[in-house]
Structure 1
């Protein structure tokens, strides 16, 4: 199995979302990342319920952070479990869009989660996606997402299964 990061896509097959990210990223003061993040969240409006910003993007790996704000906390003052799920799904969606060839489409099929520790502070999610080579006609692919707190401690993990099929 080869990693998606091992192969450089042809210019015509670079996903549109990756082209947008590369175009906006150089803007100063993190403005490009914020513009990109807000645009990405418009595609799936529920993502706008969390204060998330896409930090880095490359085929095979995406990093997203979510600030600890009152609106994402639960009754005990920690980041709410569903806010963590939303962060994981946002990271998974971004990495799928950046990695899956434009000849294919994907949709989430299931999510398994584990809450490992109290989530406090800015959460950092890293989603990775290694595509099988060759990519089959119809298949399930698992996207692991790891969420850490400001100290680097893993507080949440998700395994999101996506269904990938060719566009017809």
Structure 2
């Protein structure tokens, strides 16, 4: 049995505790401060899957009163990044390589971003991991789609201490 990635292990410890989801989300935002602009709530995190929600409020609205496109990009990157972090084995590392987005409909409510990763059968020294993200509104309608490519590579061997 392989060891869970540290982020996933932390989520598993905090998730069921009172205030644990809030604390986990704050920790993620502390590590990557730009995510704090959407005040995310992580609803689910497991190997190959992440669900993030964000409330519609003035600070994420655009000039027409809908959820701002870049705020939705932040949600997608957070969901995709956490899904990758929970999926990629500890022997490897990942970094976003590119993102394509489609704005499908006006986002006029609170939103939910769901990422479900197509798990590879093996982890090569170098490969691209697809992390598709759908963002839905309160009625379940898809308002935004993203396809994030994560470059995954084997971690280099550590050099022995001198």
TM-score class, shorter = over 0.9
TM-score under structure 1 length normalisation: 0.90
The structure 1 segments of at least 4 consecutive aligned residues displaced by more than 3 Å after TM superposition are: none
The match for 2:71 among 78, 83, 89 is 83
Structure 1 counterpart of 2:81: 93
Gaps of 5+ in 1: 1-8
1:153 to 132, 141, 145: 141
* Structure 2: runs of 5+ lacking an equivalent: 157-162
1:102-148 residue CA offsets vs partner (Å, 9 max, x unmatched): 00000001000000000011100001112211111111121100000
| Residue 68 (str. 1) matches residue 56 (str. 2) | yes
Classify the secondary structure of the residue corresponding to 2:148. strand
Q: 1:131 aligns with which of 110, 119, 129?
A: 119
The answer to which of 70-79 and 47-56 deviates more is: 47-56
Question: What are the within-5 Å matches in structure 2 for residues 8-157 of structure 1?
Answer: 9-10=1-2, 13-28=3-18, 31-157=19-145
CA distance in structure 2 between the aligned counterparts of 1:41 and 1:77, rounded to whole angstroms = 25
Task: Please give the TM-score of this superposition, normalised by the length of structure 2.
Answer: 0.93
Structure having the higher helix fraction is 1
Q: How many residues align?
A: 156
Per mean C-alpha deviation after superposition, the further-off stretch among 89-98 and 127-136 is 127-136
